[in-house]
Amino acid sequence: MLGLSGGTKAFAAAPRAPVLKLGLASYSLRKLSVDQLIEACGGLGLKYLTLKDMHLPREPKELEAAVAKYKAAGITVMGAGVIYMKNEPEKVRKDFEYARAAGVPLIVAAPDPDALNLVEGLVKEFNMPVAIHNHGPEDKHYPGPSDVMKLIQKRDKRMGVCMDIGHTLRAGEDPVALVHKLGTRLFDLHVKDLKDPKDKGSQVESGKGIMDLVGLCKALQKRKFAGQVGLEYEINENDPLPGIRESLAYLRGVIAGIGA
């Protein structure tokens, strides 16, 4: 009995694996208002969000009200975007001022390559990290995360990647391998599943496609990834909640299994 008791105590005292921050890219619920989004998050058990501007208004009073609502609901806003940026200093500065006013820790962006000097300067001035989002083969600048890194690897370390794993797979890259390759320059993720590695329109609920989501979560856990693992469910836009719920359940199961 003493041996069993001691073993149980030792097991109970073992450190728990870090928990990944499973959240949602709010574009998944793009037809909902701020209040409806918050209500949906309550039903889905979500505490982390990255927000598109329909859920993070730019008008100052509306922005302040929305931020207060997220805080009251216990939701942590992990970032704002995707924000598209051209080489237009006044407009890009307003993007950074908007993010600062919202109190977000990260901008998810898609800047034109000729705007990168401008963006880097504002990253330094505002101390605001920027994660550049890849958009697959249709994106002439950033098909995959490796294309992002070619342009930012010698730039400020607060410039990194928001890896959309669906677009990454379609661009011919391995999202799991990239978790290790990108290292500390991986700031955020948009997670989805596909049935066909070449077809953008083949998105399905997480766990029903070919994406190695178990391997992805294991790699992120091993890296002690502190950013958001954000589900982005872009299909069934008129009735997305069932698919989002199913996808989250699968991802939670994967994360729980890894933690155990």
Give the pTM: 0.93
User: Does residue 131 contact residue 160 with C-beta atoms inside 8 Å?
Assistant: yes
CATH of residue 229: 3.20.20.150
* Residue 148 pLDDT greater than 50, yes or no: yes
Task: Using DSSP bridges, classify how beta strands 48-51 and 107-111 pair: parallel, antiparallel or unpaired.
Answer: unpaired
Output b/e per residue, 198-221; b: 16+ Cβ within 10 A.
Answer: eeeebbbbbbebebebbebbbbbb
Q: Who contacts 94 (Cβ-Cβ below 8 Å, separation ≥6)?
A: none
Residue range 89-102, pLDDT digits in tens: 999 999 999 999 99
Query: Is residue 212, in this structure, part of any structural domain at all?
Result: yes
Domain count, the chain: 1
Query: Is residue 1, in this structure, part of any structural domain at all?
Result: no
Neighbours of 61 (CB within 10 A): 8
Q: At 174, phi and psi to the nearest 5?
A: -100, 110
Whole-number pLDDT of residue 4: 34
Query: Is residue 5, in this structure, part of any structural domain at all?
Result: no
Query: Is residue 2, in this structure, part of any structural domain at all?
Result: no
User: Does residue 167 contact residue 135 with C-beta atoms inside 8 Å?
Assistant: yes
Whole-number pLDDT of residue 9: 39
Query: Is residue 13, in this structure, part of any structural domain at all?
Result: no
Query: Is residue 4, in this structure, part of any structural domain at all?
Result: no
Query: Is residue 120, in this structure, part of any structural domain at all?
Result: yes
Query: Is residue 3, in this structure, part of any structural domain at all?
Result: no
User: Does residue 101 contact residue 65 with C-beta atoms inside 8 Å?
Assistant: no
What is 237-250 written as a DSSP string? TTS-HHHHHHHHHH
* Residue 194 pLDDT greater than 80, yes or no: yes
Whole-number pLDDT of residue 260: 67
Which residues constitute the domain of residue 145? 18-259
Whole-number pLDDT of residue 2: 33
Check whether the bond before 119 is cis (ω within 30° of 0).
no
Interior angle at CA 199, CA 150 and CA 116, nearest 5:
25
